[in-house]
Chain A
Amino acid sequence: MDRKRIQWNTRTKILVYMVLALIYLAGILVWGLLMDPEAYAVDYSVKFLPPGAGHLFGTDFMGRDMLLRCVKGLSTSIVIGVIASVVSSFIALAAGVAAAVVGGKLDSFVNWCVDLCMGMPHLVLLLLISFMLGRGMKGVMVGVALTHWPELTRIVRAEVLQIRSEQYVQAAYRLGKSRMQVAREHILPHVLPVYLIGVILLFPHAIMHEASITFLGFGLSAEEPAIGVILSESMKHIATGKWWLALFPGIMLLAAIMLFDRIGEDLKRLWNPDSGNE
């Protein structure tokens, strides 16, 4: 009796937590997307206000409200993160499954590509891609979307390899099913949980890289509200003690990254029968 209640509690706690995290993230996304740019318009009469009642996060050097700019910027980041994760994860799924199912030359090739992508520091690769596309929004999007697949590919491949050696898969082959059939009917369903968790854990990386590359000046342009732009601007004013320009946007970014991370880790725990019923 007692034990049953504890099981129920942990599971529910994780679920409640996840719902709250999702509400926060979705809230920022919707609020940011629907926000009228007028809301954080330039107003020189209120520049460099420290955080206070009127402006919770203070204002910047043009008197723009920092809270609203952050929300807008973060929602852009989330959109980029989602697109990047979707694209990267498709590449990873296709490459991982193909490598493991077909094997042989293709497998070595996929492994080689993974090593190639991981051979350069991630940031340098992002920077080169952004440079190729002439910097700007497109460069960040493509860069972030095309460089996050290697790790997930490795995970998917390892998982498929393990499933492939299972008895029932071997039996399916003996029964005359084609490779495609086996991949679709027997392997994909088992890889899906690992894959989905991998996709969610990809978000935080994508968002962080977007902010980093924008911070260095290769991403979104200075007029667009983005966390990287905001933090890069704050660098100019930090020497004069305008600490709030950096602190709050960073905390919001950190919160978003950590929440995504936690959602992924929690899902992993729930999905795994060994830890899901703790």
Chain B
Amino acid sequence: MSRSRYIAGTVFRMLTLLAAVSVLSFVLVTSSPIDPLTAYIGTNSTLSQEARDEITEHWGLDDPPVERFTAWAGNFLKGDWGTSIAFKKPVKTVIKERFSYSVVLMLIAWTFSGVLGFLAGIFAAVRKGSLWDKAIKVFCLALQSAPTFWVGLLVLSLFAVQLGWFPIGLAAPMGKLAQDVTLEDRIWHLVLPSLTLGVLGISKITLYTRQKLIEIMDSGFILFAKARGEDTAQLVLRHGIRNIALPAVTVQFAAFSELFGGIALAESVFSYPGIGSALTTAGLSGDVPLLLGIAVFSAVFVFTGNLIANILYGLLDPRIKEGRADG
């Protein structure tokens, strides 16, 4: 009972925040000095003043902001997200297309960083104070401070340009027809971007796992288990992992926000046609409908991650499960 109330409460809170996020994005985007009309027809267009007025009228650019927002939000809820200026396609189609590319990339990077980071964290914690531990720690701290796009550039320069092992960019070989692109091609082009994105996500989860496991290994019940004669592997498998696996998964879900930011940068380096590069294009070309669509979409993405993290936490933490915490 209290569990479903907890989830309902969280969902409700997220929905109100989502509404606020869309209002905020709308205000930010529409108060820009970049004129959507100029962005649409180009700066040196010979369009007559009447035609301009007609478009302005049709788009409702002179309407009061509140009216514009309700019109946009109403259509948005009905499924009409507007038409992208830069891509000349409905925003929904663009987002769907682009996200199908990005989601593969994100999934690979996210899983890769999660699994590897978790294992590295356990390894470092078990060998606390050793050379390995120190190396992992320094490596993670350096990665945490390294800008995504710079790591991408280095990876690109080393593996694609100097060694020539992987293609330089895009999601498929240039000049190849869409129906001829094989799965192998796709995978080949995914390696470097997902490596970049994955390597950057690793440090957080590694450091978190390491810290938590060290705390747990210092606790009383581990001492007792040691006294019973369990060796390190048994300690970690039976007691350590059980205690840290789920918080670590939660942390990984809560990292959706950074993942989305990272994808914008990584895709821009590798000219990968995903949602991140669509966002950059939308911003640079003054494509207001697409920009708004992606902003709201990204917020939904982040909220989904947070929601899963919250629900996991709520389900697993006995204190919240029994409804004692205020949620």
Chain A's interface: helix, strand, loop or mixed, by majority? helix
A212/B265 contact (C-beta < 8 A), A127-B283, A243-B161 known:
yes
Interface presence of A91 (CB below 8 A): no
Chain A residues lying within 8 Å of B32, measured Cβ to Cβ, are: 131-134
Interface presence of B327 (CB below 8 A): no
Partner of A124, one of B153, B158, B168, B261: B261
Chain A residues lying within 8 Å of B181, measured Cβ to Cβ, are: none
A107 CB to nearest chain B CB (Å) = 12
Chain B residues lying within 8 Å of A132, measured Cβ to Cβ, are: 28-29, 31-32
Q: CB distance B302 to A119 under 8 Å?
A: yes
Task: Kindly specify which of A25-33, A46-54, A176-184, A234-242 makes contact with the partner chain.
Answer: A234-242
Partner of B153, one of A128, A238, A261: A238
B155 CB to nearest chain A CB (Å) = 10
Number of interface residues of A (CB under 8 A): 43
A112 to B20, CA, bound (A): 10
A215/B295 contact (C-beta < 8 A), A124-B261, A134-B32, A258-B141 known:
no
Interface presence of B299 (CB below 8 A): yes
A30 to B165, CA, bound (A): 43
Q: CB distance B162 to A243 under 8 Å?
A: yes
A189 to B25, CA, bound (A): 37
B301's closest neighbor in chain A, by CB? A121
Chain B residues lying within 8 Å of A130, measured Cβ to Cβ, are: 283
Within 8 A of A (CB), among B126-180: 141-142, 144-150, 153-154, 156-158, 161-162, 168
Q: Which of B18, B144, B153, B161 has the most CB of A within 10 A?
A: B153
Interface range, B side:
35 or more
B275 CB to nearest chain A CB (Å) = 11
Within 8 A of A (CB), among B9-63: 13, 17-18, 20-21, 24-25, 28-29, 31-34
Partner of A218, one of B149, B156, B168, B283: B283
Interface presence of A208 (CB below 8 A): yes
Interface presence of A16 (CB below 8 A): no
A45 to B161, CA, bound (A): 26
A216's closest neighbor in chain B, by CB? B280
A123/B28 contact (C-beta < 8 A), A231-B150, A243-B162, A253-B147 known:
no
Q: CB distance A116 to B142 under 8 Å?
A: no
How many pairs, one residue from A and one from B, have CB atoms within 8 Å of each other in the complex?
A: 144
Q: CB distance B161 to A239 under 8 Å?
A: yes
Interface presence of A247 (CB below 8 A): yes
A205's closest neighbor in chain B, by CB? B145
A40 CB to nearest chain B CB (Å) = 21
A116 to B24, CA, bound (A): 9
Chain B residues lying within 8 Å of A112, measured Cβ to Cβ, are: 17, 20
Interface presence of A257 (CB below 8 A): yes
A50 to B139, CA, bound (A): 28
Chain A residues lying within 8 Å of B34, measured Cβ to Cβ, are: 131, 134-135
B197 CB to nearest chain A CB (Å) = 13
A217 to B141, CA, bound (A): 27
Besides the known contacts A123-B264, A129-B28, 11 further A-B residue pairs in the complex with CB atoms under 8 A apart: A116-B24, A121-B302, A124-B261, A124-B264, A124-B298, A212-B261, A231-B153, A238-B161, A239-B161, A246-B153, A250-B146
Chain A interface residues toward B at CB < 8 A: 112, 115-116, 118-124, 127-135, 204, 208, 211-212, 215-218, 231, 234-235, 238-241, 243, 246-247, 250, 253-254, 257-258, 261
Nearest first, the 5 closest Cβ-Cβ pairs linking A and B are: A123-B261, A250-B150, A121-B260, A257-B145, A246-B153
